[in-house]
Structure formats: structure tokens, C-alpha cells
Structure 1
């Protein structure tokens, strides 16, 4: 694991938040992301939003799970949205 992998930046953490929430990453990676979320108020705020959306979907859908292809398409769309919003904020 490289030094970059040991200390993930905000962009990496936010791009992996669904993997973290869905327990789809290694324990080592989960711990690194958790520590970053504990220390970074920006990411913690973003994570809180993501966590709330996930909780709402879970309440509405019960024990149903989305197909893997749908989850991946949504992840890509959300990543595009985050990049677009960040670009607009940078240009302002």
C-alpha cells in the first residue's frame, strides 16, 4: 500500500463513501476512511448527507437491494454531479 493509500484525501474518501457504507472495502480501508471522516468536517458533512440518503432508501425499500449494475450507474452519476458542482464553485 502506498503512502497515498494510507492517508486518503477528501476526493478519494467521498468517491469511496458508498463502498464504506456498504461494507464493500477491506477492513484496513474502512479504518482509514473512518479516521478521515472523524477528522475532516467537510467530508463528515458530505458523509452525513450520503448516510441520510442511504437510510431513507433503506426505510422505503425494506430488505430489497438494487442490482449491482444500477448501483454502479448511480455511483458514476453522483461522481459526475460532485465534479460538476465542484467545478462551478471553483469558477465562481
Structure 2
């Protein structure tokens, strides 16, 4: 599952690192299509994605009504913006 082999156009590590962006609909349609194609073709990543999806659903059910304090949300937005800039400078997917 880890790494890149000839059976996949996209590296498994890259797909799994972007699974949350995919789940949260926070990536471009092109990226979503590439990730979905990889998940459709790769049993190992699909299993991992299933686990990620279940964890996200569980957290949502258990903590869905709670809101983070405003200061925490603001700090997270700043960190995510910084991370987004770093990710955009790398060439992850073809």
C-alpha cells in the first residue's frame, strides 16, 4: 500500500496524506477525481480510507454539537493557511 508501484498512477502515501481534504471536500475537483480513482483501484488505500471515514463519522456523532473556542478556531485557520501554502508549493499528484 505504501509508496508507488506500476499498478497505480498516484503514490499511496500521497493519497492517504490527502484523505481528509478529500473527505471534507476541500480539494479541487481534479484532485478529488485522482484520489477517487486511486481509492477505487487500491484495496490497501481503500481499507485505510474506510478507517479514516469511520473515525471522522464517529467524531462527528460524538462531538457534533460542540464548538471549539473562537481563539482555537482562529489559530487553526492560521496554521491551515500556512500548511495550504506549503502544500501548494509541492507537486503531489500528477
Normalising to structure 2: TM-score of the pair? Answer: 0.61
Q: Which has the higher helix share?
A: 1
- Paired position in structure 2 for 1:42: 44
- Paired position in structure 1 for 2:20: 18
CA distance in 2, matches of 1:24, 1:48: 18
Cα deviation for residue 61 of structure 1 reads 1.5
Cα deviation for residue 8 of structure 1 reads 2.0
Unaligned runs of 5+ in 1: 1-6, 74-92
Call closer, same or farther: CA 1:27–1:57 in 2, change over 3 Å: same
- Paired position in structure 2 for 1:28: 30
- Paired position in structure 2 for 1:69: 76
Q: Which has the larger radius of gyration?
A: 2
Count, aligned residues: 66
Unaligned runs of 5+ in 2: 1-8, 81-94
Q: Would you say 1:58 and 2:60 are equivalent positions?
A: yes
Runs of 4+ in 1 over 3 A off after TM superposition: 63-68
- TM-align CA RMSD: 2.4
